Structure formats: structure tokens, C-alpha cells
Homo-oligomer: A and B are copies of this chain.
């Protein structure tokens, strides 16, 4: 079931700390950590969303090092994880690519640490049983509001039961996949 789940890490449009809509820079460790988490839980693909040519080039260089260059021989486990990564210019392209891979339309499942309109993890698993799902994570201070105007479902925030609501996107990705995967929960 989890095989029809993919992840998208959106670098634009996202918010910055002031609430402005910006393009965020790609972080090397986001690629590694989220690819390894995706591979661990059997997610099918990890789309890195950025339209900036320089950023796409950076991702290509990182992937080249680990998938074909020195890193591929030095750390084959890393190569295996990073083989899931694909760069796309916008979220629509990620949705289309994942749907095309699965042979069925993919549904984006948005995330946001401050959303109060989210569905639970049980409901998300039910969606996933029906159709390919693209879990959409935002960098910076989160996905821009315009992404929430399409009627796509939103996943409830990961809460730790405290008043602190500032998980790294890398940690949120790990916890969300663990919760989706552990179908007993």
C-alpha cells in the first residue's frame, strides 16, 4: 500500500519568516535525510520541487556525485536512497509525474504545522488505499497559501503534545511516514 505514496519537497512557493512568498534554497541534507526516510518506508518517489535553474543544477550535481560519482561506490546505501529523487519545476509537475508512474491520477496531500483543517492519519491511510498519494512538504516557513486553494486534502500537523511547533521538515517527514506506515496506529 505504501508503495503508492510519494513525497514532494516544495521550495517554491513557500513562506519566509515574515510571511512573504519566496523561493527557498535547496538544502543538501534535506535531500539525503528525506530520501533515506522515503527508502526506509518504501515510498515510491521523492520529488524536489524548484523552478530555479541554479538550484536544479545543484541538485543534479549532488545526485550525480552519489548516484554515479565517487559517492556511489563509497556509499551504495546512499545511492539507493537518492535514486528515488527527481527534480521538477513545480508541484503540478510532481503530481503529474507520480500519477503517470502509478498509472492513475495522484492526489496531493498537503502539510502545514499551523493548519487546523487537517484530516487524521487514519483518513490519510484510507485515501492512500484508494489512489496514489503525493505527500507535499514545505521548506522555509511552510507551503504558500495559494497551494491550499485547490481543494486538496491537508494532513493534521504532527504534534508532540507540547506548545512547541517547530519540527524540522526532515523530522516531520520521518514521523509522518512512520505514522502512515504503522497501520495499526
Chain A residues with CB under 8 Å of chain B are: 2, 29, 32-33, 36-37, 39-42, 77-78, 80-81, 158, 160-162, 164-168, 170-175, 177-179, 181-182, 184-185
Number of copies: 2
A24 to chain B, nearest CB (A): 15
Please give, as numbers and ranges, the residues of chain B lying within 8 Å of A42 by CB-CB distance. Answer: 160-162
- Distance in angstroms between the alpha carbons of A166 and B184 in the assembled complex: 23
| Cβ-defined partner of A81 (8 Å) among B77, B166, B173 | B166
| Cβ-defined partner of A2 (8 Å) among B32, B41, B161, B177 | B161
Say whether A167 contacts B29, CB under 8 Å: no
List the 5 shortest-distance A-B pairs measured between CB atoms, nearest first.
Answer: A40-B160, A171-B174, A41-B160, A185-B185, A77-B166
**Known contacts A175-B178, A185-B185; A32 and B168 CB within 8 A of each other:** yes
Say whether B164 contacts A81, CB under 8 Å: yes
Please give, as numbers and ranges, the residues of chain B lying within 8 Å of A77 by CB-CB distance. Answer: 164, 166
| Cβ-defined partner of A40 (8 Å) among B32, B80, B165, B182 | B165
